Every structure is written in structure tokens, then in C-alpha cells.
Amino acid sequence: MKTEKSNPKDVSPAISTYLIAYNSLQTIGWSLIGLIIGQHLLGGTPQLTLYEASKTFLQIFQTAAVLEVLHCIVGFVRSNPVLTAFQVASRVFVVWGILHSVENTQASVGYTLLLAAWTITEIIRYLYYVLNIAKIEAYPLVWLRYTLFIILYPIGVTGELTCIYQALPQVAQTGLYSIKLPNKMNFAFDYQYVLVLIMLSYIPIFPQLYLHMFAQRKKIIGGAAKPKPE
């Protein structure tokens, strides 16, 4: 759940135009993924799994979110670059290090959960940014952004952990991305252990991010008739 603020003060019209274009493209991309999910649920693509139908758009638009770290670093937006980098990296890792790399995760119920949660979250988030940069107030969208996370964030995290957990047996069996001893470098690396450590890292990190979003919700809409401008 990213906390990037896309209405930075004192930015040039060119930067604002770029940010509107970037967030608009992301809104379109995630909306296309949403259409694919809907079509799949209605049985419109029986010859394809949900992963096969959605993977290209997911890989493109989720990987493109790496640009958001750069936006923070160069000052296009007012966000913590370390926090943004962590949040983007965690998703990019799931997309490429788990779903792309470990085939048995692609048909997992975890994939359906994370894709649905990510898609709803991102459509709302990027559309919110577009309107915010354009200085258009849309309180219902603000309310959705700072309310639906209460349900969507745990669903997304459950999906991510489910996929990582289901990847463990195949990673252990195949030695995927692992380096075994002995070798010329005298160096060992076990990808399975990395996945376990990543899963354990959710224990301290998830509550902090989740509570941070509640604090943001209280700041933006808590007890107020309309949101405070950022």
C-alpha cells in the first residue's frame, strides 16, 4: 500500500503534465487488468488461466512502478523514497521472483487474491493521483482510497504470502536461483531460505504499514466533512 503524494508543491507544469500522464497510463493499465479479472470470473477465457490472461499487463504496469522510486528521489512527489522503494520492490519481487519463476504459484488462489486486491487498490490510487494533481476534488474517491485498504491490504498480503509459501516446495526441489557448495567461489546461496525470511519479514512490517494507513485515514478523512488538502 503505497503512500506517495502526487500533488507536490512548486513543481513545473511540465512535471505536473508528466505525472498526470504517468498516473493516467497506470490507471488505464490496471483497469485493463480489472477487465481481465471480470472476464475470467464470467468464464470468458476458458482456454486461459487468470495468470496467462493477465500476466503481460501485470508485469508491465507493476514493473513500471519502479519509476515511482525515482519520482521520490528527484523530488517530483513528496514521499519517503526508502518506504516507496520497499513497497515497490516487494511487489516486483512477487511478480518476477515468485509468479514468473515458480509455475505452480500461477494457478494458486493466492494469485487471484493478490491480483484482485492490487487491481482495485491501484485503479483507485492512480485515479486519485490524476485528479489530485489536476486539483479536482472527488471526495468519494478519497473516501474509497482511505477506506477500502482496510479490507484490500490484508487480502493482498494473504495472497502474496500464499504464493510465496506455495513456491517453497518447487524451489527446494529444483534449487531455483540457489548456489550449492562446493563451487569455485566457495559461496552458497539458498533461495528457499530467502523466501522464508521474506515471509517472516511480513510479521513486523505489515502491522506498521497497516497502522500507518489508518493514521493517514484519520488525517485525511477522520471526523471531517471533506478531506484536507495534502
Nearest to 3 by CA among 110, 111, 78, 92: 78
Residue 189, pLDDT > 80, answer yes
DSSP assignment letter at 229? P
pLDDT at 83 (0 to 100): 86
- For residue 62, give every residue at least 6 positions away whose Cβ sits within 8 Å of its Cβ, in sequence order, or none: 91, 92, 95, 118
**pLDDT tens-digit series, residues 127-156:** 999 999 999 989 999 999 999 999 999 999
Q: How confident is the model at residue 77 (pLDDT cuts 50, 70, 90)?
A: very high
Residue 221, pLDDT > 80, answer yes
Residue 17, pLDDT > 80, answer yes
Torsion angle (degrees, nearest 10) of CA 94, 100, 101, 106: 90
Q: How confident is the model at residue 2 (pLDDT cuts 50, 70, 90)?
A: low
* Residues in a beta bridge with 189: 179
Per-position b or e across 8-45, b if 16+ CB within 10 A of its CB: beebeeebbeebbebbeebbebbbbbbebbeebeeeee
Task: Say if residue 182 is preceded by a cis peptide, omega within 30 of 0.
Answer: yes
Residue 9, pLDDT > 60, answer no
Whole-angstrom distance, CA of residue 16 vs CA of residue 8: 9
Indicate the average pLDDT of the chain. 91
Q: How confident is the model at residue 1 (pLDDT cuts 50, 70, 90)?
A: low
**Residues designated as active site:** 153, 160
Between 18 and 10, the more confident residue is 18
Residue 227, pLDDT > 90, answer no
Look at the block and give the residue holding cell 504496469: 61
Amino acid code (one letter) for 160: E
Residue 3, pLDDT > 70, answer no
Whole-model pTM: value is 0.90
Per-position b or e across 94-109, b if 16+ CB within 10 A of its CB: bbebbbebbeebbebe
What is the phi-psi region of residue 10: left when phi exceeds 0, alpha when psi lies from -120 to 50, beta otherwise? left
